[in-house]
Structure 1
Amino acid sequence: MEQTFFLTHMAELRKRLLMILFIYVSIFLVSFFQVGKVYKWIMKGAEVELTVLGPSEIIWVYFMLASICALAAVIPFAAYQLWVFIKPALKPDERKSTALFIPVLFLLFVAGLSFGYFVVFPKVFSFIVALSEGMFQTMFTAEKYFRFLFQITIPLGLIFEMPAIVWFLTKLGILTPMMMTKYRKYVYLAMVILSAMITPPDLLSQVFVLIPLVLLYESSILLCGWVFESKGQVHRSEKTIS
């Protein structure tokens, strides 16, 4: 009986994953033929001209930009599929509240990308270009430029989703504020390493990126505590009624 139940859930999960993959590939194909517009939007206002060193680099740029567009667009659909998969195990009030997880997850991802693109990347790029003045003639290839851009923006986009994920996991009873507080120092260490990896080697830039990450984690702890407490109040109310 338990084995049948497990296999049924695995089949359902496989179905959801295949649907996500299908939507991702579909959006990727559409985006691939719109890369020219995406490229112009990303490079709008950029004070640099990019070059390519061969045909393979052009293909790489097309694949990379189409992949990023597909990733951003598939996030709300993937979140919805996850919510539908666990929906039968949720209580009616949990279903309503966790449904907000879908748009919030997407908006936070976009906010993280925007923070990386409009705030962090220009500062880092300007710093690196300034290092070459009087020493090198700078020429940037499209592959190197976009690889560097996405190394900064994509991690920030994913990290900015932390409050939504914390809220969702707390609603499911998987995460507690005590757990987040207990592992706070390890998370801070990971944030310091990340900020050092995506910023120039100067303390000011690293602190400039680290502060929003710390505030994000601390606000996630507060959010986790609020959801955890509200769940406890609901459970106490249910016991009182019964």
Structure 2
Amino acid sequence: MNSAIEVKRWQEHLGELRKRLIISLIALLTAFAASLTFVTRIYHTLTLPIGGIRLAILGPGDVIHIYFMIAGFSALGVTLPFLLFQLWLFLKPALESHERKIALQLIPLVFIMFVIGVLFSYRIVFPILLHFLMTLASQNFVVMITAQNYFSFMVNILLPFGLIFEMPVVVMFLTQLGILTPARLHGLRKYAYMMIIVVASIISPPEIVSHLSVAVPMIILYEVSIAVSRITLKGNERRRRNREETLHTEQTLKKGNGKRSAL
């Protein structure tokens, strides 16, 4: 009997997963088709950091591959909130009531912080790295950049920064669940700074300006995360006190009503 119930439960989960995947795929394909109609405009926008240099392709079919790659990443970025909502709907039955509410409220913040991270890296970090590498290469080489290499390099820079900017949102979520505290983050600060400096030195060119352009935003994000955790913890404590006061008031009223009924 238990095995039959377990099998039925798994079938329901798989059916729900299939439903969410199909809906997400339809949304992605729709956004992909829409992005293809604007792919030339998107291409010109993404190639602004390289100035007037025209990118090279190594074969006639490469243009299709490049346009599809641009449209694909554009579609993924546009549909990210919807995809996160579908993920929330799939995970909803497994979450507690307060966890559902927290996760749903964070979906817009996840999207906003990701966009801010991508825009920051596109406007500041990516041009600095690109200028440095092209200047370095032009000293001894003829610089010919293919579209494939350019956009792959761009994705490798923009995507990590989009994810790094999710740090405050992740900290907020973990603090609301009681996993993280401001004190713990404060205690890990020196180790976090060391890790940030190491990461910045690895992913940026060997010059102080490039290191600072990567390390300073990450340090600021960590400090913002501590502040967010502190604010979130205070909000949790305030809601807990309100619940306790409400419960105490209800119990007092029940006792008073019980005494009047006895009289």
TM-score range, shorter chain: 0.7 to 0.9
Query: Which residue number in structure 2 is paired with residue 236 of structure 1?
Result: 241
**1:178-193 alignment runs, 5 A limit:** 178=183, 180-181=185-186, 184=189, 187-193=192-198
C-alpha displacement at 1:176, in angstroms? 3.8
| Contact 1:177–1:225 under 8 Å retained in 2 | yes
Matched, 1:25 2:32: no
1:65-144 aligned within 5 A: 65-84=70-89, 85-86=91-92, 89-91=96-98, 95=101, 99-144=104-149
1:89 partner letter: E
Matched, 1:40 2:47: no
**Distance (whole Å) between structure 2 residues aligned to residue 182 and residue 6 of structure 1:** 43
Structure 1 CA distance, aligned partners of 2:188 and 2:6? 35
Residues 41-85 of structure 1 show CA distances to partners (whole Å, capped at 9, x for unaligned) of 222462322111113432331232112102211211122234444
For 1:20 and 1:183, how far apart are their aligned partners in 2?
38
Match of 1:157 in 2: 162
TM-fit CA distance, 1:28: 2.2
CA 1:83–1:117: 2 relative to 1, 3 Å: same
Query: Residue 224 of structure 2: which of 191, 206, 219 is its match?
Result: 219
RMSD: 3.0
Aligned residue in 1 for 2:253: none
Equivalenced residue count is: 240
Read off the aligned partner of 1:86 and give its amino acid letter: K
Partner of 1:206, secondary structure, is: helix
* Alpha-carbon spacing, 1:43–1:229, altered in 2? closer, same or farther (3 Å): same
Which residue among 35, 54, 73 is the counterpart of 1:49? 54
Specify the code of the residue in structure 2 equivalent to 1:90.
S
Tell me the distance in 2 between the aligned counterparts of 1:195 and 1:17. Answer: 36
Shift of 1:178: 4.8
- The AA in structure 2 aligned to 1:73 is V
Residue 144 of structure 1 deviates from its aligned partner by 0.9
Shift of residue 156, structure 1, vs aligned partner: 0.6
Gap runs ≥5 in structure 1? none
Q: Point out the structure with max Rg over C-alpha.
A: 2
Cα distance in 2 for residues equivalent to 1:49 and 1:216: 36
For the structure 1 residues 91 and 151, does the alpha-carbon distance in structure 2 shift closer, same or farther, using more than 3 Å as the test?
A: closer
Deviations 1:123-164 (A, max 9, x none): 111111211344222111111111111211111112112222
CA distance in 2, matches of 1:189, 1:13: 41
Consecutive unaligned residues in structure 2, runs of 5 or more = 248-263
TM-score under structure 2 normalisation?
Answer: 0.77
**1-structure distance, mates of 2:245, 2:73:** 50
TM-superposition CA deviations, 1:86-129 (whole Å, max 9, x none): 3873249x73x654423222221111111111111111111112
Mean Cα displacement is larger for which, 63-72 or 81-90? 81-90
Length-normalised TM-score, structure 1: 0.82
Aligned to 1:198: 203
Q: Please say which of residues 192-201 and 104-113 is displaced more in the overlay.
A: 192-201
* Most deviating of 136-145 and 162-171: 162-171
